[in-house]
Amino acid sequence: MKNITKTMLAATLAIGVSATAHAAGADDVEAAYQQWNEAFNSGDAAAVAASYTDDAIFLPPTHDVVEGPEGVQSFFDGLFQNGVTDHQLEVINVMEDGDEIVAASRWSAKGGDGSDIGGIATHVFERQDDGSLKLKLHTFN
């Protein structure tokens, strides 16, 4: 009976730790999304690019493979020149595995003509030494 109790206690603690880690990962993603949206909505492509790792891959719906913060900055400079504003991200799901966090989200923005645009995005974040998240892979439609 003592072994069953110990096993049940260990399983309960493991579930609690997993739920706490997942909640922490989701909170970290929400914070990263808020920072990213603020950078985007300020129209500062360099600030957006600072959210990406040096070896980041960005896959926009243009089918281009954009590499690194410099490529990301160039892409978003083009969007800002075309008047895209008011970007928002809404978390659909977060999965965490060690220093990598995968998030799926809905995104929305205003097109240069004022139209509503949006779609689905997938983000792979890499936890940095200071605990913050940077994008290692970003794709959207």
pLDDT of residue 18: 40
Q: pLDDT tens digits, residue range 90-130?
A: 999 999 998 999 999 999 999 999 999 999 999 999 999 99
pLDDT of residue 25: 83
| Cα–Cα distance, 24 to 28 (Å, whole number) | 6
Q: pLDDT tens digits, residue range 19-28?
A: 434 466 899 9
- Indicate if the pLDDT at residue 8 is higher than 80: no
22 burial type by CB count under 10 A (0-12 exposed, 13-18 middle, 19+ buried)? middle
- Indicate if the pLDDT at residue 35 is higher than 90: yes
